[in-house]
Chains A and B, each alone.
Chain A
Amino acid sequence: EDQVTQSPEALRLQEGESSSLNCSYTVSGLRGLFWYRQDPGKGPEFLFTLYSAGEEKEKERLKATLTKKESFLHITAPKPEDSATYLCAVRGSTLGRLYFGRGTQLTVWP
């Protein structure tokens, strides 16, 4: 079965302290790796889609990268408003269905 593992489970950063979140995956025939942000009591909010190894996407302080086995979400100079749970998901050979990891709960303190 397609699997997604995220690490660390929780991460506390001081404002401005850059770091990376990891997403390791096993999937037969990757048809997209997705990063979402989830705030408490809300639905996942789409951030990025990556399709092939070597691809990178950026949005404000976030940058997502992809290799054949894992993806990283790099957070540069985070702010308290970046605090959220970041979810990684993959779409494999089965059309449409996403497999999610457990997420990384990020807390950025001032």
Chain B
Amino acid sequence: EPEVTQTPSHQVTQMGQEVILRCVPISNHLYFYWYRQILGQKVEFLVSFYNNEISEKSEIFDDQFSVERPDGSNFTLKIRSTKLEDSAMYFCATRDSNSPLHFGNGTRLTVT
């Protein structure tokens, strides 16, 4: 069965550093999302992306965050200057027009 693939599985970074989280969507999917889950808390929506532009973003997704599809296959989330409170699991999710969201196994981001 096709999968959403995320790399790296674990990223440790120092406060103030930039990180890029990568996702390879399922091949025929056109809608892309980033969610995050702080330890012990709900899965929270960050941003949705369709047709090479952001279609919706949450209040969490401030100017420190950006997304892009640099080469037509990868989908990336960049955090420009990480803060301690950015420590979380970050999940990429994708779907086509008629399917539910399929999630990757996440990147655990630890900011020290």
Contact = CB atoms under 8 A, between A and B. Distances in A.
A97 B91 contact: no
Interface stretch (A13-21, A44-52, A59-67, A69-77): A44-52
Contacts of B44: 100
B43 A46 contact: no
A87 B44 CA distance: 12
Contact of B41 (A34, A45, A46, A102): A102
B104 interface: yes
B56 A43 contact: no
Given A96-B48, A97-B48, A34 B100 contact: yes
Interface in A1-54: 32, 34, 36, 41-46, 49
Nearest to A39: B105
Contact of A95 (B41, B55, B102): B55
Contact of A98 (B45, B55, B102, B105): B45
A46 B91 CA distance: 14
A89 B45 CA distance: 11
B103 interface: yes
B31 A43 contact: no
B33 interface: yes
B100 A49 contact: yes
A43 B42 contact: no
Q: Which 10 A-B pairs have the closest CB atoms?
A: A43-B103, A100-B43, A43-B105, A44-B103, A46-B100, A97-B45, A96-B48, A100-B42, A43-B91, A42-B105
18 contacts: A42-B105, A42-B106, A43-B4, A43-B103, A44-B91, A49-B100, A95-B48, A95-B56, A96-B31, A96-B50, A96-B55, A96-B95, A97-B48, A98-B43, A98-B45, A98-B101, A101-B42, A103-B42
